[in-house]
Amino acid sequence: MKLRLTSYGLSALAIAAVLCLSMVPSANAQFGGNPARVAAAQAKPTPRMADGHPDLSGFYGVGVAGVNNYGQAPTGSAAASGIVKTQDGSIFFDYAGAEGGGGHPDDGGNVKQSANQPPYKPEYMAKAQAIAKTVYGTITHLDPWLECKPAGVPRAGVGGMIQIVANPKSIAILYENNPGPQYRLIYTDGRQHPADFDTSYMGHSIGHWDGDTLVVDTVGLNDETWYTQTGGANKLTSIHSDQEHVIERITRKGDDLTYESTVEDPVMLTRPWVRPVQHTEIGPSDDYIQPQMCNTNDKAHIIEESPTDHFACNFCQKDADTTYGEGASDRDKAAAAQRKQNQNGATDNSGRPAPAAGGGE
């Protein structure tokens, strides 16, 4: 596969911030929003290492923004790329926009904050809420991701495009955009955490097997990362201290990788916080990890909400038929009916039903 159309850097973020277009793998696809797809991936044989434990090795990735039907159609084909040739010979590249962007003007009223927020102590809850107030659409200029700082643990998780290289003594997770190329080592040779070491973005990780599940213990994380993206239903999932301690459980079944994590932070949290379960799966056989450097963005261009500037949607068209061709408004009407049906329940900010318990960043 040629260069993927995800956002590895932040050079285009000024535009993305205005449009609030999240140029990353979709949450629904990446984190278990499709139970049938997860079940199909888990039904395949599970490869194992010489010691009998599941072999986590492989290239993983489910959804790529701007590449429709990723993994469901041959890589590079029109069906997988979003390239549509109309009857008059025109070429239309269906990259998000009205079809796949942040949705419609009334979506904000339908988004309900997830009940599963970090149990912050009062003084830190106030700080998290202050950060949440700076969110415009789905991003805030305060997010350390915008400064090209590694996502950390557990935010990095198994999201995006990753390559895992495993053997009985250690496991490496290579991130394509985290937000730049980044790696993480998990030692499974029986060693313990060092008695004295400096904190870092990805910390120090040791792992052991509990049956077919890899249990990872991570400490030594600095306080410069967030738990996850802040925005939408994740309004408070942001700051943590350098005393953060994360326990992860990673299970491979067939081509599916299940990721569970529990966060302890005696400084900021009143109790351990269990994050939503995440799923990813083996990527297409002809795709591969394509690391690119992250470029910081001039955050002064990121718009913040004000009395005269309120986020409505990504690409708002009053006359969809004129802009996108006859029949486009019919799709808008169908989407509006779906949003109305879901208005009493949680939805994501595209008007679709939000993922169930498996959803996450």
Parse the chain into domains and list their residue ranges. Answer: 13-342
Q: Flag the least confident range among 22-26, 47-51, 57-61, 68-72.
A: 22-26
Give 223 or 320, the one with higher predicted confidence: 223
Q: Is the pLDDT of residue 318 over 80?
A: no
Q: Which residue shows structure tokens 């239309």?
A: 92
Question: pTM to 2 decimals?
Answer: 0.75
Express as a percent the part of the chain with pLDDT over 90.
43
CA of 214: how far to CAs of 50, 187, 278, in Å? 16, 11, 15
Higher pLDDT, 211 or 109: 211
How is residue 145 annotated by DSSP?
G
Classify residue 257 by burial, with Cβ atoms within 10 Å: 0-12, 13-18, 19+: buried
Q: What is the pLDDT of residue 31?
A: 45
- As a whole number of angstroms, the distance between CA 110 and CA 305 comes to 18
Of 76-80, 93-97, 159-163, which range is least confident? 93-97
Task: Please give the pLDDT value at position 30.
Answer: 44
pLDDT confidence of residue 68: 67
| Residue 299 CB partners (closer than 8 Å, separation 6+) | 141, 146
Using CB atoms within 10 A of its CB, is residue 256 exposed (0-12), middle (13-18) or buried (19+)?
Answer: buried
How far is CA 15 from each of CA 42, 296, 301, 315, 358, rounded to the nearest angstrom? 38, 14, 8, 12, 30
- Dist CA 342 CA 347 (whole Å): 7
Lowest mean pLDDT among 17-31, 163-177, 239-253: 17-31
Query: Is the pLDDT at 124 greater than 60, yes or no?
Result: yes
Q: pLDDT class for 317, splitting at 50, 70, 90?
A: low
